[in-house]
Amino acid sequence: MKVLFLLSSLEPAGSETYCVSLAKAWQGQHEIFWISDRLHFGQSYLSLPISGKAFPAGVSNTFKVSRFIRENRIQIVHSHSRRSHWVAVQAAALTHIPHVTTIHQPPPVHLFSRLFPCLGDIAIAIDEVVSDHLQAHFGRKPESIRLIRNGIEIPAAHPKLPPQGGKGMKRIAILGRLSGGRWQAVQFFFDVLKRIAKSLPAAQYLVAGRVPEERASDLAEQLRIVNSAIAPSTIELTGWTDHLADFISSCDGIVAAGRSGLESLALGRPVLMMGEGGVIGLAGPETWEQALRTNLGDHITPKEFYPAKLEVALRELLGDSNSSGEKARWARSQVEKYYDIRTVARDIENVYKDLCSAVTPAKAGVYRNQRPMDSGSPNDRRPGPPDVWRAGLRPPE
């Protein structure tokens, strides 16, 4: 199957690494095409300003993407951001192919989003909060939503907990990009740490993630102030790393949410779950239900940035290694159960097949108005389905 991944990436983010993991899982089975503003992991792609506003950039992008779909005989388009959803839904309608969206976070609710939700034939929600949001605010029917969680590659084995850092101090990484809502979460962490560090075991804190240029000077000054307040503990910026697994494995604990938290748990690290929505606590049996519902803390509503909750979790993370390590081993088993990319890829592939079979005359082997795969004539076009099919109605049996 020929699948177009449509994104609006300007920096490395979870939606892109999600797509990269899917492409790896499908290697040799499906042909993946990419369109985005930028991509960051070596993919060959067509660069278009998908992040541009709907008018006029979105209109121009729609026709360019439609032409790309026709020229490359794309059979399904899968979009991964609000701006890419808008372009994809128009391009899919013009070219009469199915459109799938993955909704990585609850979309904002306003007049334009209600008039043009652009959620595709099937919307994949990565957690229960997203699924509930689509139904409550956009009138999306449950049968047009699939709950399929983030997928990550699970290492065959994970290393033992590392030795403590220099001077007997544990190494704790605050992991994730420092933009959007993650920036506010890091500010909260700094504020709480300044107040409580003197009463905590000393530790080495490492801020690991890509820093937007406009934030660099502010962050440097903040780290200077935090360092003066938390001595003998220290905090420093390590920035972006291309060897993430090695870095995670060198740390005693991780503060993260979303894919960063999942990848850390898969490597056997204790994870203090804190994301754009607030603090959950140390990953373990008593916090896992909320972790599943909220993408490990990114989608908590209303937000729960409670200093006392962060303090309790930090004390547990910096305390008995046996206790936190036991929780980390339990959490890794849950990541294997719910987030294995092989299971996620299979479930998404089934969505594709269901959509294509619903609108494709099976004997003709045609995906809507695309040419049969064995056709040798570029002019061999089949008529597309009636417009009512776009409304989610299946053709008569």
CATH code, domain with 236: 3.40.50.2000
Predicted confidence at residue 392, as pLDDT, reads 34
Percent of the chain scoring above 70 in pLDDT:
87
**CA atoms of 87 and 346, how far apart (whole Å):** 26
Q: Which residue has the tokens 């690494």?
A: 17
pTM to 2 decimal places: 0.86
d(Cα 74, Cα 88) in Å, to the nearest integer?
12
Cα–Cα distance measured from residue 338 to residue 229, given in angstroms and rounded to the nearest whole number? 40
**Domain assignment of residue 156, yes or no:** no
Residues 372 and 383 in one domain: yes
Is pLDDT larger for residue 97 or for residue 390? Answer: 97
> Helices 14-25 and 258-266 sit at what angle, rounded to 10 degrees?
50
Q: Give the percent of the chain with pLDDT over 90.
A: 77
Last residue of a domain, one of 301, 320, 338: 338
| Domain ranges, residue 355 | 2-151+341-391
Confidence (pLDDT) at 100 = 98
Is 345 found in the same domain as 333?
no
Q: Are 140 and 186 contained in the same domain?
A: no
Asked if residue 397 is part of any domain, the answer here is: no
138 with 16, same domain: the answer is: yes
Q: Are residues 332 and 353 in the same domain?
A: no
Does some domain include residue 20? yes
248 Cβ contact list (under 8 Å, min separation 6): 173, 175, 254, 263, 264, 267, 269
pLDDT value, residue 359: 64
In this predicted structure, the answer to whether residue 121 has a pLDDT above a threshold of 50 is yes
Mean pLDDT of 313-329: 91
Count: domains in the chain: 2
Task: Report whether pLDDT(258) > 60.
Answer: yes
Q: Domain for residue 253, yes or no?
A: yes
Q: Is residue 396 part of a domain?
A: no
Are 200 and 105 part of one and the same domain? Answer: no
Backbone angles phi, psi at 37, to 5 degrees: -60, -55
Query: For residue 167, what pLDDT band results from cuts at 50, 70 and 90?
Result: low
CA distances from 362 to 122, 221, 359, 379, 383 (A): 20, 63, 9, 21, 15
Q: Which helix (H) or strand (E) holds 217?
A: helix 213-230
Whether residue 23 is found in the same domain as residue 107: yes
Mean pLDDT computed over every residue of the chain: 88
Per-residue pLDDT at 2 exceeds 70:
yes
Any idea which residue has 């709907």 for tokens?
54
For residue 260, is pLDDT > 60? yes
Q: Are residues 346 and 306 in the same domain?
A: no
Asked which of 123-137, 274-288, 351-365 is least confident by mean pLDDT, the reply is 351-365
| Count of Cβ atoms closer than 10 Å to residue 343 Cβ | 17
Q: Are residues 322 and 382 in the same domain?
A: no
Q: Per-residue pLDDT averaged across 47-70, rounded?
A: 91
pLDDT by residue (tens digit) across 210-241?
899 999 999 999 999 999 999 999 999 998 88
pLDDT band at 160 (very low <50, low <70, confident <90, very high): low
Mean pLDDT of 78-84: 95
Query: Looking at the domain assignment, is residue 159 inside a domain?
Result: no
Same domain, 190 and 110: no
Evaluate whether residue 157 is within a structural domain: no
Q: What is the pLDDT of residue 162?
A: 59
pLDDT tens digits, 354-397: 999 886 443 233 344 443 333 333 333 333 333 333 333 333 33
Give the pLDDT band (50/70/90) at residue 156: confident
Alpha-carbon distances of 16 from 58, 81, 144, 191, 313, rounded to whole Å: 20, 10, 24, 31, 30
Say whether both 178 and 291 belong to one domain: yes
Encoded tokens for 32? 């993946």
More confident residue, 242 or 328: 328
Element (H, E) at 52: none
147, 278: one domain? no
292-302 average pLDDT score: 97
Asked if the structure places residue 92 within a domain, the reply is yes
